[in-house]
Structure 1
Amino acid sequence: MNPESGASPRERAARWRDQLIALGWLVLVWSLLWGKFSWGNLVGGVLVAGAVLLFFPLPPVTFGGRLRPGPLLVFLVRFVGELVSASLHVARIAVQPGYRPRGAIIAVRLRVRTDLNLALTAEAVSLVPGTLIVEVDRDAGVLYVHVLDVHGPQDLTDSRERILAVERRIVRAVGSTAELRQVATDPVERGSGP
């Protein structure tokens, strides 16, 4: 059965647009991998990209939000700050003689469970030194994160709150109005506990 048979014409058009964008990106990557742009590489890229999209279809990732430049700038500035701070912390651990940091794996349930939010939050968390995504439970919206240099339960709580703050900043930057309400009304955000 065709999953698009019950879709509205607007949804089908959006799906085709997304497929064409994916095709374009795959053709561009193909051409860059060959190192030169030629008609042969272009045709070959279209054929390979078409086969990839046909035989390995990706689930549709819908973007129901909108890009907000102000919150996006806040996210980027905070991300760079966390990146520098965490890099210095990990560097200090690496050169400290005889120190053996303890790590832990924590489960963090995200408030917005869309595929896009899961992917963006997981990527942002993984890029910061000292944190690594071990597993993602897509159905439950849970990230399992390894954190470095844990001294006690408060460090685990702080790490969980940092990850939820990253999610909040991402949703503020690119989320829909409903998603913004979700992160704004969550009791964890107001400090009532994990």
Structure 2
Amino acid sequence: MIDNRRTAARALWTQLPFFVWLILLWMLLWGQFTVLSLLTGTIVAIFTTRVFRLPPAELSGRINLWYGLIFAVTFTIAVVMGSLQVAWHVWNGKRPGTAIIAVPLDTDDDLIMTHVGVTASLIPGSLVVQTDRKNRILYLHIIGVKSLDDVERQRAGVLRWEDRIVRAVGSREQMQALKKREAAHHGSTA
């Protein structure tokens, strides 16, 4: 009986950030940070989590604020640069080259894969069109492609986003795997 209570308390604690996020999202959607929007957001969050049951997502329990800041700054720069590139393609009048590329991710974690996919989709000029969860592959539609070098540059860019996300919120095991990959990569280029 005590183990069941501990398990339930632990599950509630691990899901609390998502619950708070749902409430905050509700308040952002309404553009109000009032007691009424907090109350209705809580009701909607309870309803949503009870009706649309999803498997619990395990958070890593590790947040690196420095790498989170680096992620936020580089993401903002990427959004601005992507917007300018898309605007240039529209203003230029020429049809930009497009491609659908497969990006095999290194990290085997649904939450990291989701973060990478959302990040890639929010940057203008790319959009996730399909995910292969089993093989950890994101398929993206990208614009502004003129050669295979552009495709490889886009693929490497998505993998850099994965690395930044792992550094910011990945587990200790994911960080160790990232460091091993970096060491192997630096060893192969030397």
User: What is the TM-score normalised by the length of structure 2?
Assistant: 0.79
Matched residue pairs, number?
185
SS in 2 for 1:145: strand
Q: CA deviation at 1:101?
A: 0.9
* 1:181 aligned residue (169, 176, 184): 176
Query: 1:96 and 1:58, CA in 2 relative to 1: closer, same or farther beyond 3 A?
Result: same
Q: Distance in 2 between matches of 1:108 and 1:50?
A: 36
Q: CA deviation at 1:85?
A: 1.6
Q: Distance in 1 between matches of 2:18 and 2:69?
A: 26
Name the structure 2 match of 1:61: 57
Aligned partner letter, 1:128: I
Q: CA deviation at 1:79?
A: 1.2
1:83 matched to 2:79? yes
Q: Percent identity?
A: 34
Q: Where do 5+ consecutive residues of structure 2 fail to align?
A: none
Q: Distance in 1 between matches of 2:74 and 2:119?
A: 11
Superposed counterparts of 1:20-59, under 5 Å: 22=18, 26=22, 29=26, 37=35, 42=39, 49-59=45-55
RMSD between aligned alpha carbons?
3.4
Query: 1:27 and 1:80, CA in 2 relative to 1: closer, same or farther beyond 3 A?
Result: closer
User: What is the TM-score normalised by the length of structure 1?
Assistant: 0.78
Name the structure 2 match of 1:4: none
Q: Where do 5+ consecutive residues of structure 1 fail to align?
A: 1-6
- Which of the two has greater helix per residue? 2
Q: CA deviation at 1:52?
A: 3.1
Q: CA deviation at 1:110?
A: 1.1
Q: Distance in 2 between matches of 1:47 and 1:78?
A: 36
Preserved contact between residue 101 and residue 155 of structure 2 (Cα < 8 Å):
yes
